[in-house]
Chain A
Amino acid sequence: MNLMIHDLDNGLFKKLFKTSKDMHVISNDGSIQRCIGCFGCWIKTPGKCVLKDGYNNMGEILSKTDNIIIISRCCYGGYSPFVKNVIDRSISYLLPFFKTKNNETHHKPRYKKRCALSVYFYGEHITRQEMDTARDLVKAHGVNFNVSEWNVAFYKSSEELLGEVKIK
């Protein structure tokens, strides 16, 4: 399955992408709540977030995904607030327990299946420094989420994404 997490408005999204049965799309319907840092998704309802707003099942969705495609405005070298909110609400994808990789601690995976991560950042005035930060961020996010491969691309505007996004 392909999973697309994006922050575009729905009109533009429909213009740019054809969706299919094999694609799960997560977009902003205005109802997402912020993570409250309770770790309930690890120690209360393992694998599921305790907040009930329709964005509480990210771990399970990720476990069925082969390909994560993120489309996000680049904000200070990172994801936009909505996209980051979805990612912050996704840590149930991992276990609370630790492993050491390249001499750094990370979490053990909850699921066996691994996926690939492709990130398409857009924004008119993305600076060099922001690009460097964004590349570091996607790499670290990829390592933390135990992905098999990751890549990052930058575009001046969201319209430029037409035909650019590779869907496997």
Chain B
Amino acid sequence: MKITMINGSPKPGENNSGTLIKYLTSLINENETDVYNISKLKLSDMQFEEMKKSSALVFAFPLYVDGIPSHLLRFLMRLERMDVFDKNTMVYCIVNNGFFEGKQNHIAVSQMKNWCIAAGLTWGQAVGIGAGEMLPFLKNIPFGYGPNKNTGKAINEIANNIKTLKSGDDLFVSPNWPRFLWKMQGTRIWNMRAKKNGLRETDLYN
């Protein structure tokens, strides 16, 4: 069975959507999986032809101002207009956001559901993951453990549904970590990153 994963992060280097896709892929690797990074690559007709053969489409993307990032939206409209997919093609998505609460991804998930209806495809499941920018700091902790416990569990569940092409309830999770600590660490990290750019803390309030 063929599964197409679409990474909707526009970040040039490593990105959190990519980290989540990597883990998901490791769980469903008995299937043929293609990963496309739509903001780095202009898909060719041949790649669209390949995509058409997939039983499931998995969209992994960051939440941008409470919704789907604009470049992914353009891509979705293009897919809808092409009208090439079989109506049984399942749609899954993994949305990650910056704020602590994974629940804040629910509007982007509704937009994806509306797209799924407009494109005439079948809805599978969505997972919304909070505090996405913590992921690079948790690289040495396996999914399903410690702060990554909830995230791992949610991705395991969606992986099982993808493997069997089933639908499931949407899951919204935050890391197993106190929110106040996340907030303090977040503030420190912004200041550290600014310092690397030669700025002082006060410059950020410019």
Q: Which 8 residue pairs of A and B lie closest in terms of their CB atoms, listed nearest first? A: A85-B70, A140-B66, A76-B114, A84-B70, A46-B206, A34-B71, A133-B110, A105-B99
Looking at chain B's contact residues, the main secondary structure is helix
Which residues on A sit within 8 Å (CB–CB) of B66?
137, 140-141, 144
14 A/B residue pairs, CB under 8 Å, sorted by A: A34-B39, A35-B70, A43-B194, A43-B197, A44-B194, A81-B77, A85-B71, A96-B204, A97-B204, A104-B99, A104-B103, A105-B100, A110-B205, A132-B110
List residues of B (60-82) whose CB comes within 8 Å of A's CBs.
Answer: 62, 64-71, 73-74, 76-77
Bound together, the chains give a CA A157 to CA B168 distance in angstroms of: 36
Are B111 and A76 closer than 8 Å at their CB atoms?
yes
Docked complex Cα distance between A36 and B187 (Å): 21
Cα A105 to Cα B67 in complex, Å, equals: 16
B108 to chain A, nearest CB (A): 8
The answer to whether B100 touches A77, judged by C-beta atoms less than 8 angstroms apart, is: no
Partner of B64, one of A35, A39, A97, A129: A35
Output the nearest chain B residue to A77 by Cβ-Cβ distance.
B114
- Residues on A with beta carbons closer than 8 Å to the beta carbon of B194: 42-44, 46
Q: Which chain B residues border A97 with CB–CB below 8 Å?
A: 186-187, 190, 204
